[in-house]
Amino acid sequence: MQKKQEKIGLIWFRNNLRINDNTSLFKAIKNHKKIIAVFFFDPKLFEKDSFGFKKTEKFRAQFLLETVKELQRNLADINITLLTYFDAPENKIIEICNTYKVASIYTQKEWTKEEVDTNKLIKNKLSKSINFIEDFDQFLFHPNQVTNNFNNIPDVFTTFRKKIEKQVSVLPELISPNATAQNLIENSTTIPTLKDLGFDAFYSNSASAFTFAGGENSALERLDYYFFESKKVAFYKKTRNGLIGTDYSTKFSPWLANGSLSPRTIYWKIKEFEEKYGSNNSTYWVIFELIWRDYFKFISLKYSDKIFKIGGILDRDYHWNSDLEIIQKWINGETKDTFVNANMIELKETGWMSNRGRQNVASYFAKELLQDWRIGAAYFESLLIDYDVHSNYGNWMYVAGVGNDPRDRKFNTKLQAERYDSNHKFRKLWLEKTLF
């Protein structure tokens, strides 16, 4: 049996903040006796973007802090130290490699511009003797099994879904690692506070539909509750368009977004549930939504930075406005549409909004107010606890008519409100006025 390398393996955690089903962790343990890990709270992610929004607002910042604290504890249980820095990766990772004589860096593969630029900065400084190993680790269907040319990804979701369901299997989860050799190191680094990141402490809104803490343990508890304790998954398709409460939908998306929960873990838990209790449209529909999530990642791989361009992947030359007063009224929930307003206030107060709400407020912003859809997408990026770059920009392109919607539809928010909030309960909850 080949002896493990004596040099240290460094796991650079990004949006894969878990120990279960983690390719980087799995490979590092396989190839090294001694392992350390690092996570960077990159200051760039807490600065204002070109539209004036903080790239990460307080809700996701708090969720991230909770997640990293839990990751640090879980790694310590398997004798791996997680170093944490409130600094840019390119400023620290070379120093870490030199200090600890790192032989290989293991990290999640990213492909959007900011992450790729960071990688280039690091690789340009990195000794050629250090391996830089990247793995796709945020998909349900591994890209290597789907295609060897991302240009072949269909531009219509249904075509993609039917083909992938027929031809591609979901890989098994990677087995949770056993404790490695006793190789914990002295850790003088600290996890920043919310104040360090530029925010005041805050209390969560008691009316929020997302009341959960960040971290892998919380994610797995929610998974167990939703599938096996409450069996709510068996009714998901009927309840998924709900607006109030924690159980109308899975609420897995924030943990999926920062990688503290693997989509494969969800998939195989569904299969376990179906084995025990039977399958139905609802159990399938959770998988259906995971395929949508994958699809937007594949579209991002296909079109690269075009997902951030005003013309989208279709190069549509529409006229868009950027009226600051109109945009601010949309943000504050002060438009002429009460259903839109209620959803926008929920987002502002909690960092959460239902899928039904997101489609309506985005369509209203782009198709009714005719404002530059990228501004709406940037605001969502700032506020949403479950912000995922590919799903966010993919969905905004979709509703703005510059993405993957062949019908280029517009939501009738009045009819949507009548259908999904006929008793006005949701609007009363967030508008705090006796309008009805």
**Quick one: CA dihedral 328, 51, 55, 353, positive or negative?**
positive
Residue with tokens 């591994």: 142
Count of beta carbons in the 10 Å neighbourhood of residue 306:
18
Q: Residue 264 carries which side chain, given as an amino acid letter? A: R
What is the rounded distance in angstroms from the CA atom of residue 132 to the CA atom of residue 128? 9
The reply, when asked if residue 253 is annotated as ligand binding, is: yes
CB 365 within 8 A of CB 395: no
| 249 annotated to bind ligand | yes
- In whole angstroms, give the CA distance from residue 313 to residue 36: 40
Per the listing, tokens 């998939």 go with 267
Residue environment code for 226-237, b if the CB has 16+ CB neighbours within 10 A, otherwise e: bbeeeebbbbbb
**Tokens read off for 97:** 């490699």
Is the Cβ–Cβ distance between 93 and 122 less than 8 Å?
A: yes
Q: Are 134 and 107 in contact (CB under 8 A)?
A: yes
CA dist 398 and 148 (Å) reads 25
Annotated binding residue at 372?
no
Percent helix, strand and coil across the chain, each rounded to 5? 50, 10, 40
R_g over Cα of the chain: 22
CA 251/CA 353 separation, integer angstroms = 11
Neighbours of 121 (CB within 10 A): 16
Q: Is 208 annotated as a binding residue?
A: no
**What are the residues whose beta carbons fall under 8 Å from the beta carbon of 362, sequence distance 6 or more?**
373, 376, 380, 395, 396, 399, 400
User: Do the annotations mark residue 386 as ligand-binding?
Assistant: yes
Please choose, from the candidates 368, 249, 366, 367, the residue with its C-alpha nearest in 3D space to the C-alpha of residue 379. 366
Q: Coil, helix or strand for 371? A: strand
**Residue stretches of the annotated binding site for FAD:** 236, 249-253, 386-388
**Residue stretches of the annotated binding site:** 236, 249-253, 386-388
